[in-house]
């Protein structure tokens, strides 16, 4: 018996020994760290599900794409999945600590099938609470907020096809670079970087009124063909990275996308409650959102809603190429928000990636990536209103390339891939053939070739041919910022082989103040002009003006003009500017093509008749644009337009008889109102109201000649079925409205919606008239020759036309069908017309 007990003890001890000895083999922990990135762009992917299949063990990547996961179970693979991407799995080594990185390829996004079940969608009660708490959580509920912002922008060439590789410039680049693959990473596609920037700024916002100010403190810009200039520094800051999903509509690339938490959320989206878990310190609901109609400008992806106050905690959204937007393969937006001390939430980090498609197989695509990090947040401490007068200001010592500064002050360290980007860009931009292509591209875009301190051009006006001048040749130049930061000198010389006349222009402008943008200048020119085309609304359309120099100019009433002018202008306060201009000009018609004359005294038919005149005038202009944003580009200022408020302009002109041989004294009043309308689901509109009154007696070149259009091309600034000089007025009011419906109607037609056509509409109405005195000043004939005159509108009968059409045909063509509905009995009237235009729109 004793021997049995000893045997049992021995066997029990042996078993216990073997059990303890075996513990490390089956209970040893497997720890895996790594990062998940986009295989196309190399960008980190936040909020990706990383898990062991068949278990409840799983984590999500953080905002930088990193994860850490562990298990004690004897598993052999790790899986990752992410909406919009193909899932992946990799083998793991059991029982050790290891690093495994994943690169995910994008998948075609298909909308989920909607299954109707009894009862209410469990996501809907949560969404109703989100809407109910929007005001409390929206940052617009703060009286003010400010923070330090770090911004990083990178632009790469991707989808590098074999045809593109064989292009001459690419062959030169690829022979120099032997590190192309390293930018893509382990499993990704190769990309070719050509721009990267970093900036640190202080951003300030105040409500009531809603105004922003950004002080860009430091910038570092490295790019192929781009200098570290002030213009680039202004556009890489936080001001242009505004993504507030509490708004019903978000503007991205000039398109309005509906937010997943818009007031009409149920009309635009399907919602699927997937999970609930801690995100940081907040317990959150994870809800997947998909648009009800794939062509709508809406988002696919996931939103995380806090259970405590129903606020957005994280956003992972994408716009696929099925949306009605051109040239874009994909847009992704990742956002992480944090609660402020006052309650509303502010974005802490943003990451945006725009994948631009290649135009053809022989070209490549493009990736544009933005990253923003905000720290040192202060809320409800508004600055005085005058503090916000200049929306964007770049510090004089902002340019800094010292790596030590950026290593210390950037919010996040650069990855090895981003460090490689800097090295590759420096290499690429020093390749001779690249420098040549950059120079050609700059000439094509800007119209000028820089040669030291002057720019030669614009080349668009170099040559023309018409029935007045014959072959017309022109050469011009202007000084740039290397010549002076104060003076801008411009000039050109032109010559016509048929008329044998030299035409010329010379001007000098001086910048009095960049802070208020106060300038003054003088100009003198002698040039062939066309009376039918003198219209301020076309002043920025260089391509249109260039082509008006070609062909038969008879219908547009050509004349020679000699003009001397001087001006001074300044911004009185933000949005309010004043301009004072003096102008002296001579009007000399081309007699063989344009028969013009007027009575010296319109009340006396026996008074002398004149065929030309001289005028001197002073014009005072005041302009108010409440939320217009300007950027300074070297010695010029560029308007980015007004976001939501109308732009008002008022002008008064006084004719000075006797000054510099002026023949007339007169008064002219005019006012314009222009506003762009963002109408959400209904698309976008633009209206322009133009009114004027001339209470003086003057020949019709002083009146408002309403702009007609006898070309086959649609022009939004003209009356498209009105003939040249069909009407002129000394009192008038015009209303022009243009509307783009985006995909509102055509997206609902099954076959048409695949074409991504967009419906457009427009209407123009003109009330006007001419006093008897201004009609009587023009004789019927002079020296036996009939004199060209004009028609006046009836005071009680407006001119009107309306049109409709389709744009985005082959992503380039627009066709308009236009109806004229007034003055149909006039000679050569076109009651209906079809006009085309080319446009590049996303």
Token code pair at residue 313: 């905690």
On average, the pLDDT of the chain sits at 83
CB 356 within 8 A of CB 339: no
What pLDDT, on the 0 to 100 scale, is given for residue 445? 61
Using pLDDT thresholds of 50, 70 and 90, give the confidence band for residue 3: very low
Interatomic CA distance for residues 148 and 170, integer angstroms: 40
Find the radius of gyration of the CA atoms of the chain: 34
Token code pair at residue 502: 């030299």
Using pLDDT thresholds of 50, 70 and 90, give the confidence band for residue 508: very high
Give the rounded percent of residues in the chain with a pLDDT score beyond 90: 35
As to burial, measured by CB atoms within 10 angstroms (0-12 exposed, 13-18 middle, 19+ buried), residue 744 is middle
CB 480 within 8 A of CB 450: yes
As to burial, measured by CB atoms within 10 angstroms (0-12 exposed, 13-18 middle, 19+ buried), residue 347 is buried
Which of the following CATH numbers is that of domain 529-535+559-838: 2.40.420, 2.115.10, 2.40.160, 3.30.870? Answer: 2.40.160
As to burial, measured by CB atoms within 10 angstroms (0-12 exposed, 13-18 middle, 19+ buried), residue 64 is middle
As to burial, measured by CB atoms within 10 angstroms (0-12 exposed, 13-18 middle, 19+ buried), residue 392 is buried
Using pLDDT thresholds of 50, 70 and 90, give the confidence band for residue 68: confident
Token code pair at residue 672: 């314009």
For 675, the enclosing helix (H) or strand (E) is strand 667-678
Kindly tell me if the per-residue pLDDT of 106 is higher than 80.
no
**DSSP characters over 108-129:** ---PPPP---SS--THHHHHHH
Using pLDDT thresholds of 50, 70 and 90, give the confidence band for residue 277: confident
Interatomic CA distance for residues 803 and 834, integer angstroms: 9
CA neighbor of 56 nearest in space, from 273, 271, 272, 277 = 277
Token code pair at residue 213: 């100010």
What pLDDT, on the 0 to 100 scale, is given for residue 809? 85
What average pLDDT does the segment 404-428 reach?
A: 80
Interatomic CA distance for residues 601 and 366, integer angstroms: 67
**DSSP characters over 793-815:** --TT--EEEEEEEEEEETTTEEE
Give the range among 10-24, 57-71, 284-298, 489-503 with minimum mean pLDDT: 10-24
CB 273 within 8 A of CB 303: no
Digit-coded pLDDT (tens) for 445-503: 667 888 889 999 888 889 999 999 999 999 999 998 889 989 999 999 999 999 999 99
What pLDDT, on the 0 to 100 scale, is given for residue 434? 66
Interatomic CA distance for residues 649 and 576, integer angstroms: 10
Kindly tell me if the per-residue pLDDT of 179 is higher than 60.
no
Per CATH, is 123-161+198-400 categorized as 2.50.20? yes
State the architecture of 23-104 in CATH terms.
Sandwich (2.60)
Q: How far apart are the first and last CA of the chain?
A: 94
State the angle between helix axes of 432-446 and 168-176 in degrees (0 to 180), rounded to the nearest 10: 140
Percentage helix, strand, coil for the chain under 3-state DSSP, each rounded to 5: 20, 45, 35
CA neighbor of 754 nearest in space, from 172, 324, 185, 400 = 324
Digit-coded pLDDT (tens) for 656-713: 999 999 999 999 999 999 999 888 778 889 999 999 999 999 998 999 988 888 888 8
Digit-coded pLDDT (tens) for 330-382: 888 999 999 999 999 999 999 888 887 776 666 777 788 888 999 999 999 99
pTM listed for this prediction: 0.77
CB 820 within 8 A of CB 801: yes
What pLDDT, on the 0 to 100 scale, is given for residue 731? 94
- Pairing label, strands 269-279, 282-291: antiparallel
CB 315 within 8 A of CB 333: yes
CB 522 within 8 A of CB 508: yes
Token code pair at residue 369: 């990536």
CA neighbor of 372 nearest in space, from 156, 685, 148 = 148
> Phi then psi for 16, rounded to 5 degrees?
-65, -40
What pLDDT, on the 0 to 100 scale, is given for residue 521? 96
In this structure, the number of other CB atoms found within 10 A of the CB of residue 771 comes to: 17
For 12, the enclosing helix (H) or strand (E) is helix 2-27
Token code pair at residue 81: 């999945």
Interatomic CA distance for residues 131 and 262, integer angstroms: 8
Token code pair at residue 744: 């509102």
Kindly tell me if the per-residue pLDDT of 116 is higher than 60.
no
What average pLDDT does the segment 271-291 reach?
A: 88
What average pLDDT does the segment 553-559 reach?
A: 87
Using pLDDT thresholds of 50, 70 and 90, give the confidence band for residue 12: very low
Fill in the DSSP letter of residue 565: E
């Amino acid at each position: 018996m004793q021997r049995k007990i000893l045997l049992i003890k021995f066997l029990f001890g042996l078993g216990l020994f073997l059990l303890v000895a075996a513990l490390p083999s089956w209970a040893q922990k497997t720890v895996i760290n790594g990062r998940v990135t986009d295989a196309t762009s190399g960008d980190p992917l936040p909020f990706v599900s990383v898990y062991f299949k068949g278990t409840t063990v799983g984590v999500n990547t953080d905002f930088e794409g990193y994860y850490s996961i562990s298990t004690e179970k004897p598993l052999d693979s790790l899986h990752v999945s992410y909406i919009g991407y193909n899932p992946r799995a990799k083998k793991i080594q059991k029982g050790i600590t290891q690093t495994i990185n994943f690169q995910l390829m994008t998948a075609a996004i298909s909308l989920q099938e909607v299954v109707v079940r009894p009862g209410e969608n469990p996501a809907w009660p949560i969404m109703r609470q989100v809407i109910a708490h929007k005001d409390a959580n929206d940052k617009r509920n703060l009286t003010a907020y400010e923070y330090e912002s770090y911004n990083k922008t990178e632009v790469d060439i991707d989808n590098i096809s074999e045809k593109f590789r064989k292009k001459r410039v690419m062959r030169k680049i690829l022979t120099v670079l032997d590190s192309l693959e390293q930018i893509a990473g382990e499993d990704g596609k190769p990309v070719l970087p050509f721009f990267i920037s970093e900036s640190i700024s202080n951003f300030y916002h105040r409500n009531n009124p809603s105004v922003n100010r950004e002080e860009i403190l430091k910038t570092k810009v490295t790019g192929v063909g781009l200098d570290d200039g002030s213009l680039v520094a202004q556009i890489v800051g936080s001001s242009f990275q505004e993504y507030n999903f509490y708004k019903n509509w978000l503007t991205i690339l000039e398109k309005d996308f509906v937010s997943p938490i818009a007031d009409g959320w149920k009309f635009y989206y399907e919602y699927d409650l997937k999970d609930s878990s801690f995100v940081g310190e907040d317990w959150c609901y994870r809800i997947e959102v998909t648009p009800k109609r794939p062509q709508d400008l809406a988002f696919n992806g996931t939103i995380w809603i806090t259970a405590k106050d129903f606020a957005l905690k994280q956003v992972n959204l994408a716009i696929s190429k099925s949306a009605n937007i051109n040239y874009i393969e994909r847009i992704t937006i990742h956002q992480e928000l944090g609660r402020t001390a006052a309650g509303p939430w502010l974005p802490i980090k943003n990451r945006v990636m725009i994948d631009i498609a290649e135009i053809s197989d022989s070209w490549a695509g493009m990736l544009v990536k933005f990253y923003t990090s905000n720290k040192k947040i202060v809320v409800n401490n508004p600055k005085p209103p005058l503090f916000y007068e200049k929306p964007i200001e770049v510090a004089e010592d902002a340019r800094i390339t010292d790596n030590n500064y950026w290593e210390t002050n950037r919010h996040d360290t650069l990855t090895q891939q981003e460090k490689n980007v800097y090295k590759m860009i420096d290499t690429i931009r020093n390749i001779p053939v690249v420098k040549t292509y950059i120079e050609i591209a700059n000439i094509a875009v800007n119209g000028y070739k820089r040669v030291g301190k002057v720019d030669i051009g614009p080349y668009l006006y170099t040559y023309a041919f018409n029935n007045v001048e014959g072959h017309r040749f022109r050469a011009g130049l202007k000084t740039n910022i290397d010549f002076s930061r104060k003076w801008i000198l411009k000039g050109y010389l032109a010559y016509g082989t048929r008329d044998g006349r030299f035409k010329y222009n010379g001007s000098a402008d001086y910048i009095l103040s960049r802070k208020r943008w106060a300038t003054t200048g003088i100009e003198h020119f002698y040039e062939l002009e066309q009376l039918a085309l003198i219209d301020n609304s076309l002043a920025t359309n260089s391509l249109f003006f260039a082509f008006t120099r070609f062909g038969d100019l008879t219908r547009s009433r050509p004349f020679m003009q000699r003009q001397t002018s001087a001006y001074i202008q300044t911004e009185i306060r933000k949005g309010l500017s004043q301009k004072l201009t003096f102008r002296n000009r001579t009007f000399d018609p081309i007699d063989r093509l344009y028969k013009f004359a007027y009575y010296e005294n319109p009340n006396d038919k026996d008074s002398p008749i004149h065929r030309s005149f001289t005028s001197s005038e002073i014009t005072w202009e005041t302009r108010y644009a409440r939320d217009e944003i300007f950027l300074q580009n070297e010695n010029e200022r560029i308007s980015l337009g007004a976001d939501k408020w109308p732009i008002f302009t008022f002008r008064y002109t006084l004719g000075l008889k006797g000054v510099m041989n002026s023949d007339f004294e007169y008064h002219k009043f005019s006012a314009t109102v222009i506003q762009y309308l963002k109408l959400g689901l209904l698309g976008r509109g633009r209206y322009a109201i133009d009114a004027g009154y001339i209470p003086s007696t003057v020949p019709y070149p002083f009146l408002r000649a309403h702009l007609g259009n006898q070309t086959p091309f649609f022009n939004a600034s003209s009356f498209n079925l009105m003939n040249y000089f069909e009407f002129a007025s000394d009192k008038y009011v015009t209303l022009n409205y243009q509307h783009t419906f985006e995909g509102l109607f055509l997206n609902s037609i099954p076959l048409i919606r695949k074409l991504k056509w967009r419906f457009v509409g427009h209407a123009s109405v003109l009330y006007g008239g001419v006093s008897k005195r201004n009609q009587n000043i023009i004789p019927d004939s002079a020296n036996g020759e009939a004199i060209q005159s004009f028609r006046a509108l009836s005071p009680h009968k407006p001119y009107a036309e309306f049109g409709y059409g389709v744009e985005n045909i082959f992503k380039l063509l627009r066709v308009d069908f236009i109806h004229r509905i007034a003055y149909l009995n006039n000679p050569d009237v076109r009651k209906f017309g079809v006009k085309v235009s080319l446009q590049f729109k996303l």
